Amino acid sequence: MNPNETEDKCIEDNAEKHVYLQYILYKNLHISRALVMSVSDDNWHTVINTVSHIGRRFVPLMDRVLVEGYGGLATIPVRHISGDSTDLKGVLAKKIVEHQKRVKEFRSAYGPKVIGEITVDQVYGGMRGLKSLVTETSYLDPDEGIAFRGYSIPQIRKSLPKAAGGDEPLPEGLYWLLLTGEVPSAEQVKAVSKTLAEHADLPSHVVTMLNNFPSNLHPMSQFSAAITACNTESLFAKAYNEGVNKAIYWEHTFDDSLRLIAKLPTIAATIYRNLYRDGSSIGAIDTNKDWSANFTSMLGYNDPKFTELIRLYLAIHSDHEGGNVSAHATHLVGSALSDPYLSFAAGMNGLAGPLHGLANQEVLIWLTKLQKELGGEVSDDKLKEFVWKTLKSGQEVLIWLTKLQKELGGEVSDDKLKEFVWKTLKSGQVVPGYGHAVLRKTDPRYIVQREFSLKHLPDYPLFKLVSQIYKVVPPILLELGKVKNPWPNVDAHSGVILQYFGMKEMSYYTVLFGVSRALGVMSSLIWDRALGLPLERPKSMTTEGLQKLVGAT
Evaluate whether 334 touches 429 at the Cβ level (below 8 Å): no
| The pLDDT value given to residue 62 | 40
Is 8 marked active-site?
Answer: no
CA 476, chain centre distance (Å): 29
Q: From the candidates 252, 491, 493, 528, give the one annotated as an active-site residue.
A: 491
Q: Please, what's the b/e burial string for 373-405 (b: 16 or more CB within 10 A of its CB; e: otherwise)? A: bbbebbbbbbbbbbbbbbbbbebbbbbbbbbbb
Is 356 marked active-site?
Answer: yes
Instruction: Supply the DSSP string of 303-354, one letter for each residue.
Output: -HHHHHHHHHHHHHTS---S-SHHHHHHHHHHHTT--HHHHHHHHHHHHTST
Is 205 marked active-site?
Answer: no
Q: From the candidates 436, 443, 493, 528, give the one annotated as an active-site residue.
A: 436
Asked if the model's pLDDT at residue 51 lies above 60, the reply is: no
What is the SS3 assignment for 49? helix
In the DSSP assignment, the letter for residue 490 is: G
One-letter amino acid identity for 30? H
Q: From the candidates 199, 218, 356, 456, give the one annotated as an active-site residue.
A: 356
Evaluate whether 10 touches 23 at the Cβ level (below 8 Å): no
pTM of structure: 0.81
| The pLDDT value given to residue 36 | 45
**Mean pLDDT (whole number) for 479-497:** 81
Evaluate whether 63 touches 20 at the Cβ level (below 8 Å): no
**Mean pLDDT (whole number) for 327-346:** 99
- CA–CA distance, 541 with 239 (Å, rounded to integer): 37
- CA–CA distance, 347 with 349 (Å, rounded to integer): 5
Residue 437 — pLDDT band, cuts 50, 70, 90? Answer: low
| The pLDDT value given to residue 43 | 53
- CA–CA distance, 373 with 402 (Å, rounded to integer): 9
Q: Average pLDDT of the chain?
A: 83
Evaluate whether 410 touches 445 at the Cβ level (below 8 Å): no
Evaluate whether 80 touches 183 at the Cβ level (below 8 Å): yes
Asked if the model's pLDDT at residue 79 lies above 70, the reply is: no
Evaluate whether 277 touches 545 at the Cβ level (below 8 Å): no
Closest of 46, 48, 45 to residue 59, by C-alpha:
48
Residue 521 — pLDDT band, cuts 50, 70, 90? Answer: very high
- Using one digit for the tens of pLDDT, what is the confidence trace for 149-207? 999 999 999 999 999 999 999 999 999 999 999 999 999 999 999 999 999 999 999 99
